[in-house]
């Protein structure tokens, strides 16, 4: 995403960018450094939980698909997305509380004009919060050995999309019966630019229920798409 949108086709794609300017080089360096630390947390915790003989028996981890069947195997991805989105929304709002923001979330918000590298550019304290969703999964719903790698591949792709600075959904999408519940790159870009509102990850359920979606979101989405 970075190679395509920020290097190879930069001049061609600039008019289509949500925020017209590009970040400075030092922002990329910072984002890559913090992302590397975050990935270490995401690599370590699953191994610690499912390979630790003192902990693994108490988790919901399983390896035989026949244990719960193929229907559950696929339905679990839906459950994981809903659980993760809910977990993310509320922990995200917590980290925006003035008393904890600078300790947890300020590093991520230094990218007011995010690049794809910003997706996982977290302070170590926030990285711990984010990676803890794995523990939530492993102690609440049955998790097959393939669930975590497949789900987090999807999660990484969608999170990177949300930080690309480009909108991939078509014009009018945010106003459709389906699109009004789906998080977009424009939506999350607004969050980075303005700090308040638009706290969701994959969906906009909680933002719409709690009244935290920015009132200018639809107009901003359409303004961006008219340039594309």
* Chain segment 70-109, per-residue pLDDT in tens: 999 999 999 999 999 999 999 999 999 999 999 999 999 9
Nearest of 119, 84, 122, 72 to residue 205 by alpha carbon = 84
Count of the separate structural domains present in the chain? 1
Sequence-distant (6+) residues with CB within 8 A of 174 are: 180, 184, 186, 187, 217, 218, 221, 222
Provide the CB-side half-sphere exposure for 193 (13 A, CA). Answer: 19
pLDDT exceeds cutoff 90 at 13: no
Chain segment 16-69, per-residue pLDDT in tens: 899 988 889 999 999 999 999 999 999 999 889 988 999 999 999 999 999 999
State the chain's mean pLDDT as an integer. 95
Chain segment 98-133, per-residue pLDDT in tens: 999 999 999 999 999 999 999 999 999 999 999 999
Provide the residue range defining the domain that includes 108: 2-226
Residue 20's pLDDT is: 87
Residue 147's pLDDT is: 98
Distance, CA of 27 to CA of 91 (rounded, Å): 25
Distance, CA of 160 to CA of 116 (rounded, Å): 5
Contact indicator for 104, 123 with CB cutoff of 8 Å: yes
Residue 14's pLDDT is: 75
């Amino acid at each position: 995403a970075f190679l395509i949108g920020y290097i190879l086709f930069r001049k061609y794609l600039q008019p289509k960018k949500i925020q017209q300017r590009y970040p400075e080089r030092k922002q990329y360096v910072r984002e890559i450094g913090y992302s590397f630390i975050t990935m270490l947390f995401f690599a370590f915790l699953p191994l610690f939980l499912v390979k630790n003989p003192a902990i693994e028996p108490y988790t919901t981890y399983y390896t035989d698909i026949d244990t719960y069947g193929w229907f559950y195997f696929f339905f679990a991805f839906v459950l994981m997305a809903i659980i993760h989105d809910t977990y993310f929304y509320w922990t995200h709002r917590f980290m925006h509380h003035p008393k904890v923001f600078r300790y947890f979330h300020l590093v991520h918000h230094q990218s007011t004009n995010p690049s794809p590298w910003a997706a996982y550019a977290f302070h170590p304290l926030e990285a711990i919060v984010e990676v803890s969703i794995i523990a939530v999964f492993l102690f609440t719903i049955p998790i097959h050995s393939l669930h975590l790698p497949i789900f987090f591949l999807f999660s990484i792709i969608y999170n990177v999309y949300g930080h690309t600075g480009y909108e991939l959904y078509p014009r009018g999408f945010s106003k459709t019966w389906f699109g009004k519940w789906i998080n977009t790159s424009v939506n999350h870009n607004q969050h980075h630019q303005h700090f308040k509102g638009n706290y969701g990850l994959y969906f906009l359920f909680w933002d719409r229920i709690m009244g935290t979606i920015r009132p200018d979101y639809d107009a901003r989405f359409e303004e961006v798409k008219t340039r594309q």
